[in-house]
Amino acid sequence: MRTTHAGRAARLAVGAAAAVALLAGCSASSGADEAAGRTDVNYALPANATPNWIVPLGIAGKLATHNSAIMRTLWEPLVAYDGSEGEVGRVATADLASDITFSDDGRSVTITLDEGRTWSDGEPVTSADVKFWFDLVRANTDVWASYSEGRMPDNVTDVATPDDKTVELTFDKVYNPEWLQASQLNLIVPLPAHAWAKTADDEEPDPALAETEKGAKAIFDYLVTQSEDLGTYETNPLWQTINGPYSLTGFSDAGQVELTRNEKYDGDDAASIDTVNLLPYTSTDAEVNAVRSGAVDYGYIPTTGLDAPEQYEQLGYAVEPWAGWSITYMPYNFNHPEMGPVYRQLYVRQALQQLVDQEQISDVIWKGAALPGYGPVPQNPESDFLSDEQKENPYPFDPEAAAALLADHGWTAGSDGVLECTAPGDGDDECGDGIEDGQQLAITILSQSGSAETDNMFAEIKSTFDQAGVAVSIESAPLNTVLSSIAPCTADQPDCDWELPFFGTAGSWYFGGYPSGERVFGTGAASNFGSYSDDEFDTLMLDSTESTDPSVMQAYSKYGAENLPVMWLPNPVYQVSVIKDGLEGTTQDPLASFHPQRWSWAG
Amino acid sequence: MTGLRRFATNRLAVVGAVALAILVLFAVLGPLVHPTEQVATDLGAANLPPGVDGHPLGTDALGYDNLGRLMVAGRVSLLVGVLAGALATVVGTLWGAVAGYVGGVVDAVMMRVVDAGIAIPAIFLLLVLSTIVRPTVGMMIVVLGLVSWLVPARLIRAEALSVRTRDYVVAARAMGATHSRTVLSHVIPNTVGTVVVNATFQVADAILLVAYISFLGMGVQPPTTDWGAMLNDGINYIYQGAWWLILPPGLAIVIVVCALNFVGDGLRDVVDVKGRTA
Among the residue ranges A389-393, B98-102, B196-200, the one predicted with the least confidence is: B196-200
Domains in chain B: boundaries? 3-33+63-271
Looking at the fold, whether A265 and A352 belong to one and the same domain comes out as no
Looking at the fold, whether A187 and A331 belong to one and the same domain comes out as no
The CATH number of residue A306's host domain is 3.40.190.10
Q: Tell me which of A208, A230, A252 is where a domain ends.
A: A230
Q: Which pLDDT band, with edges at 50, 70 and 90, does A439 fall under?
A: very high
- Name the pairing type of β-strands A566-568 and A329-331: antiparallel
* pLDDT 10s digits, A72-87: 999 999 999 888 887 7
Parent domain of A82:
76-230
Is the Cβ of B38 closer than 8 Å to some Cβ of chain A? no
Is the Cβ of B271 closer than 8 Å to some Cβ of chain A? no
Looking at the fold, whether A512 and A587 belong to one and the same domain comes out as no
Sequence-ordered list of residues with C-beta below 8 angstroms from that of B69, at least 6 positions apart, any chain: B36, B38, B60, B225, B230
- The Cα-based distances of A338 to A12, A23, A419, A442, B205 in angstroms read 76, 65, 15, 10, 42
Report the gap between the CA of A545 and the closest CA in chain B (Å): 41
Q: What is the structure's pLDDT at A48?
A: 81
Quote the CA–CA distance of A459 and B63 in Å, as a whole number: 11
Looking at the fold, whether A435 and A495 belong to one and the same domain comes out as yes
Best mutation target among B236, B240, B245, B246 (most A Cβ atoms within 10 Å) is B236
Quote the CA–CA distance of B158 and A85 in Å, as a whole number: 73
Interface of B with A in 207-226 (CB under 8 A): 217, 221-223
* pLDDT 10s digits, B218-272: 678 778 899 988 988 888 787 778 899 999 999 999 999 999 989 988 888 887 6
Among the residue ranges A75-79, A151-155, A585-589, B209-213, the one predicted with the least confidence is: B209-213
Among the residue ranges A223-232, A399-408, A541-550, the one predicted with the least confidence is: A541-550
H or E stretch including B56?
none
- Please tell us whether the domain made up of B3-33+63-271 is placed in CATH 1.20.1250.20: no
Interface of B with A in 125-144 (CB under 8 A): 131, 134
Q: Which pLDDT band, with edges at 50, 70 and 90, does A3 fall under?
A: very low
Is the Cβ of B117 closer than 8 Å to some Cβ of chain A? no
Higher pLDDT, B235 or A242: A242
Is the Cβ of B104 closer than 8 Å to some Cβ of chain A? no
Q: What is the structure's pLDDT at A350?
A: 98
H or E stretch including A298?
strand A298-301
* Whether residue A142 has pLDDT greater than 50: yes
For residue A166, the cross-strand partners are: A112, A163
Would residue A436 count as lying in a domain?
Answer: yes
Higher pLDDT, A85 or B36: B36
Looking at the fold, whether A455 and A521 belong to one and the same domain comes out as yes
Looking at the fold, whether A261 and A168 belong to one and the same domain comes out as no
Q: Mark yes or no for CB contact A463/B239 under 8 Å.
A: no
The burial class, CB within 10 Å (0-12 / 13-18 / 19+), for A64 is buried
The rounded percent of chain A whose pLDDT value lies above 70 is: 94
* Average of per-residue pLDDT across A38-67: 90
Residues of B in contact with A462 (CB under 8 A): 222-223
Looking at the fold, whether A332 and A272 belong to one and the same domain comes out as no
Looking at the fold, whether A347 and A305 belong to one and the same domain comes out as no
Mean pLDDT of chain A: 90
* Whether residue A166 has pLDDT greater than 80: yes
* pLDDT 10s digits, B183-220: 888 888 888 888 888 888 888 888 888 888 777 666 78
Q: What is the structure's pLDDT at A279?
A: 96
Nearest CA in chain B to A450: B217
Quote the CA–CA distance of A292 and A30 in Å, as a whole number: 14
3-state SS class at A108 = strand
Among the residue ranges A28-42, B1-15, B19-33, the one predicted with the least confidence is: A28-42
Q: What is the structure's pLDDT at B270?
A: 81
- Name the pairing type of β-strands A81-82 and A89-90: antiparallel
Find out whether A43 and A273 touch, Cβ atoms under 8 Å.
Answer: no
* Whether residue A265 has pLDDT greater than 70: yes
Is the Cβ of A491 closer than 8 Å to some Cβ of chain B? no
* Whether residue A67 has pLDDT greater than 90: yes
Report the gap between the CA of B135 and the closest CA in chain A (Å): 10
Q: What is the structure's pLDDT at A12?
A: 40
Report the gap between the CA of B41 and the closest CA in chain A (Å): 6
Looking at the fold, whether A498 and A554 belong to one and the same domain comes out as yes
* Average of per-residue pLDDT across A227-235: 93
Higher pLDDT, B194 or A41: A41
Would residue A511 count as lying in a domain?
Answer: yes
Find out whether B62 and B81 touch, Cβ atoms under 8 Å.
Answer: no
Looking at the fold, whether A215 and A267 belong to one and the same domain comes out as no
* Average of per-residue pLDDT across A285-314: 91
Interface of A with B in 277-296 (CB under 8 A): 283, 285
Report the gap between the CA of A67 and the closest CA in chain B (Å): 24
Looking at the fold, whether A590 and A532 belong to one and the same domain comes out as no
Q: What is the structure's pLDDT at B77?
A: 92
- The Cα-based distances of A314 to A319, A464, B275 in angstroms read 11, 40, 59
* Whether residue A414 has pLDDT greater than 50: yes
Q: Which pLDDT band, with edges at 50, 70 and 90, does B176 fall under?
A: confident
Among the residue ranges A412-421, A575-584, B96-105, B187-196, the one predicted with the least confidence is: B187-196
Q: Mark yes or no for CB contact B239/A473 under 8 Å.
A: no
* Average of per-residue pLDDT across A431-455: 92
Quote the CA–CA distance of A327 and A374 in Å, as a whole number: 9
Q: What is the structure's pLDDT at A188?
A: 97
Q: What is the structure's pLDDT at A306?
A: 85
Q: Mark yes or no for CB contact B134/A311 under 8 Å.
A: no
Looking at the fold, whether A319 and A332 belong to one and the same domain comes out as no
Q: What is the structure's pLDDT at A35?
A: 67
Would residue A215 count as lying in a domain?
Answer: yes
Would residue A548 count as lying in a domain?
Answer: yes
Phi and psi torsions of A319, nearest 5°? -100, 120
The CATH number of residue A113's host domain is 3.90.76.10
Q: Give pTM, 2 decimals.
A: 0.76
Number of domains in chain A: 3
Q: Which pLDDT band, with edges at 50, 70 and 90, does A34 fall under?
A: low
| Start-to-end CA span in chain A (Å) | 54
The rounded percent of chain A whose pLDDT value lies above 90 is: 73
Q: What is the structure's pLDDT at A247?
A: 97
